[in-house]
Amino acid sequence: MTTPSPPVPQRLRRLVLVLGDQLDAGSAVFDGFDPEHDAAWMAEVAEESSHVPSIKPRTAVFLAAMRHFRDELRSSGRPVIYRELDDDEDGGLVAVLERTVRAHQPESLHVVHPGEHRLLVGLKEAASRLDLPLTIHDDRHFYTTLEEFDAHADGRKQLRLEYFYRELRRRHDILLDGREPVGGSWNYDADNRRSFRRGGPTGLQEPLPFAPDATTKEVLALVDRELGDRAGDLSRFDWPVTRAQAKEALDDFIRHRLPLFGDYQDAMWTDQPWLYHSRLSAAINLKLLDPREVVDAAVDAHADGMAPLNAVEGFVRQILGWREFVRGVYWRFMPEYVERNHLGATLPLPHLYWTAETDMRCLQQAVGQTLELGYAHHVQRLMITGLFAMLFGADPRVVHEWYLSVYVDAIEWVELPNVLGMSQFADGGLMTSKPYCASGAYIKRMSNYCGSCRFNPSRATGDDACPFTTLYWSFLAKHREELKKNHRLGMQLKNLDRKSAGELRAIRKQAETLQRDLTS
């Protein structure tokens, strides 16, 4: 049942645009909102889930969260003009907005800074066509303003998380003892690389599920009806889609998974998609949760003796560090950033990324759970799907479009730098100090995938050669001149140099066959 809207004022002063990832009733766009004179505007449009082919769980998370937010706004007395996906009118977000403006004749438009360059440009152009003032409000959901990031970045050739993260720890007084880091070290990454023993994770508690209510069920039916041909599955849909649910999910993570988050941050295990991860990214990115409350909850858990420092610092670094850092990179370098292709990779993405049909157990697991749940954890994204795409030589723009389509937390400002910069090295080292390249041996060390795979991670050629290992050596050989500029790859290149010309020829041939077979 849709909550009825308070009447939209006849003479509309402000039309307040609320985009699908701006679901915060306390955001800057609502400062001074007066229900007697102003109205909020929200729109579900097919274009937002088709400019890249958004899979069903991703679209469903956005629409379910939007509809709940619409109802909350209405219940709190704010008029909302809301356009549903199956309303008859055609067109993208901007076209729908223009129709609303013509119908209601507002005096001005207001929006929080969008999370995508394409939308920012589209909205500015629409306002200018409509001859209406558009105010773009700061997004208060971030610790850092874009100006603060620029001040940090100015004059630096390369941007490194570590320096930025320390600045933020000091500026916001997080995990500090005076001016110095609690525990004496800024970063406990070295303690956060454990893998599981033979028996796998023990005492794991599944994340709290959120069974779809009537509103969410309507959305699931709508997505199946309108976007039935899209990849993805909705049968296990249990994401938090309201602020109340997101707060419960945070509490559940802090109690049950944060204590081991650090130790097993990089580990992977068959049929265990969540392990000790928070699965809070979608809730934070949709603005159902404020990153400050998430960071504070983790810091408090440490202060109360509920979670060790390596877990809490590791978790804080992801949110206070990486999340803020990639946003800064995105806005500083867009729109040219998306064009970058430092390694000149041009192949299409193998079709298995849309089906999970492959004998490679690690990819079958990572892609399979992605299509089913809209989720994979960081190391699966970086060291399975991302690594394979880079070693394979897939065009980074196509890789970016896949990532933007498949994850429930994917919004371009956060997805693009992670994909293009961190996982594909397509920005040539602007934001990471080296390409994340590894062979099947890494996956063997960090997971149990290889144990049930028909390939052998230590073999680069032959019938049972692991495709990661074959492509790893051929990648190093192909990009040798470029990679040797980076001293952090010295050991890997030394190992390459130990291979005979004959071995390298056989590896190259096997890599070419793989590339041909997987793209045919």
**Which parts of this chain interact with ligand SF4 (CB under 6 A)?**
360-362, 440, 443-444, 449-450, 453, 455, 457, 466-468
**What residues pair up with 166 in beta bridges, in sequence order?**
none
Least Å from the CB of residue 394 to ligand FAD? 12
Q: State which of positions 96-125 bind ligand FAD (CB under 6 A).
A: none
- Paired sense of beta strands 14-17 and 108-112, if any: parallel
DSSP string, 425-484: -TTTTSSSSS-----HHHHHHH-SGGGG-SSBTT-SSSTTB-HHHHHHHHHHHHTHHHHT
405 binds ligand FAD per the rule CB under 6 A: no
61 binds ligand FAD per the rule CB under 6 A: no
Contacts (Cβ under 8 Å, ≥6 apart) of 304:
none
Asked if omega into 201 is within 30° of 0 (cis), the reply is no
Q: Which of 381, 400, 444, 479 binds ligand FAD (CB under 6 A)?
A: 381
Minimum CB distance to ligand SF4 smaller for 454 or for 484: 454
Torsion (CA) 295, 298, 302, 306 in degrees, nearest 10: 170
414 binds ligand FAD per the rule CB under 6 A: yes
273 binds ligand FAD per the rule CB under 6 A: no
Least Å from the CB of residue 145 to ligand FAD? 17
Minimum CB distance to ligand FAD smaller for 12 or for 420: 420
Least Å from the CB of residue 463 to ligand SF4? 13
Taking CB under 6 A as the binding criterion, the range among 81-89, 145-153, 411-419, 473-481 that sits at the site for ligand FAD is: 411-419
Q: Which residue from 248, 315, 21 is spatially nearest to 141, judged by alpha carbons? A: 21
- Taking the C-alpha atoms of residue 39 and residue 8, their distance in angstroms, rounded to an integer, is 6
- Taking the C-alpha atoms of residue 496 and residue 473, their distance in angstroms, rounded to an integer, is 7
Q: Which of 56, 277, 444, 479 binds ligand FAD (CB under 6 A)?
A: 277
Least Å from the CB of residue 126 to ligand FAD? 26
Please check whether residue 262 is in contact with residue 440, taking contact to mean a CB–CB distance below 8 angstroms. Answer: no
Which of ligand FAD, ligand SF4, none lies near 182, with the C-beta cut-off 5 to 8 A by kind? none
Please check whether residue 474 is in contact with residue 484, taking contact to mean a CB–CB distance below 8 angstroms. Answer: no
269 binds ligand FAD per the rule CB under 6 A: no
CB-count burial class (<10 Å; 0-12, 13-18, 19+) for 69: buried
Handedness of CA 383, 388, 391, 396 (dihedral sign): negative
419 binds ligand FAD per the rule CB under 6 A: yes
Q: Which of 110, 243, 323, 400 binds ligand FAD (CB under 6 A)?
A: 323
Least Å from the CB of residue 21 to ligand FAD? 10
Which of ligand FAD, ligand SF4, none lies near 419, with the C-beta cut-off 5 to 8 A by kind? ligand FAD
Minimum CB distance to ligand FAD smaller for 419 or for 496: 419
Minimum CB distance to ligand SF4 smaller for 223 or for 466: 466
- Taking the C-alpha atoms of residue 375 and residue 248, their distance in angstroms, rounded to an integer, is 19
Least Å from the CB of residue 487 to ligand FAD? 23
137: which 2 tokens? Answer: 């409000």
Which of ligand SF4, ligand FAD, none lies near 279, with the C-beta cut-off 5 to 8 A by kind? ligand FAD
Which of ligand FAD, ligand SF4, none lies near 467, with the C-beta cut-off 5 to 8 A by kind? ligand SF4
Return the biggest CA–CA distance within the chain: 79
- Taking the C-alpha atoms of residue 324 and residue 326, their distance in angstroms, rounded to an integer, is 6
399: which 2 tokens? Answer: 């890789």
Minimum CB distance to ligand SF4 smaller for 112 or for 376: 376
Minimum CB distance to ligand SF4 smaller for 277 or for 444: 444
423 binds ligand FAD per the rule CB under 6 A: yes
3-state secondary structure of 408: coil
Q: Which residue from 46, 60, 149 is spatially nearest to 417, judged by alpha carbons? A: 149
Q: State which of positions 288-317 bind ligand FAD (CB under 6 A).
A: 315
Least Å from the CB of residue 518 to ligand SF4? 12
Least Å from the CB of residue 358 to ligand SF4? 8
382 binds ligand FAD per the rule CB under 6 A: yes
**What residues pair up with 15 in beta bridges, in sequence order?**
39, 109
Q: Which of 168, 415, 444, 472 binds ligand FAD (CB under 6 A)?
A: 415
Asked if omega into 335 is within 30° of 0 (cis), the reply is yes
First-to-final CA distance of the chain: 48
Which of ligand SF4, ligand FAD, none lies near 33, with the C-beta cut-off 5 to 8 A by kind? none
Taking CB under 6 A as the binding criterion, the range among 39-47, 211-219, 366-374, 401-409 that sits at the site for ligand FAD is: 401-409
Neighbours of 410 (CB within 10 A): 24
Please check whether residue 220 is in contact with residue 234, taking contact to mean a CB–CB distance below 8 angstroms. Answer: yes
278 binds ligand FAD per the rule CB under 6 A: yes
- Taking the C-alpha atoms of residue 367 and residue 395, their distance in angstroms, rounded to an integer, is 18
280 binds ligand FAD per the rule CB under 6 A: yes
Minimum CB distance to ligand SF4 smaller for 65 or for 383: 383
**What residues pair up with 108 in beta bridges, in sequence order?**
14
The site for ligand FAD (CB under 6 A) is made up of 277-281, 284-285, 315, 318-319, 322-323, 326, 377-378, 381-382, 386, 403, 407, 409-410, 414-415, 418-419, 422-423
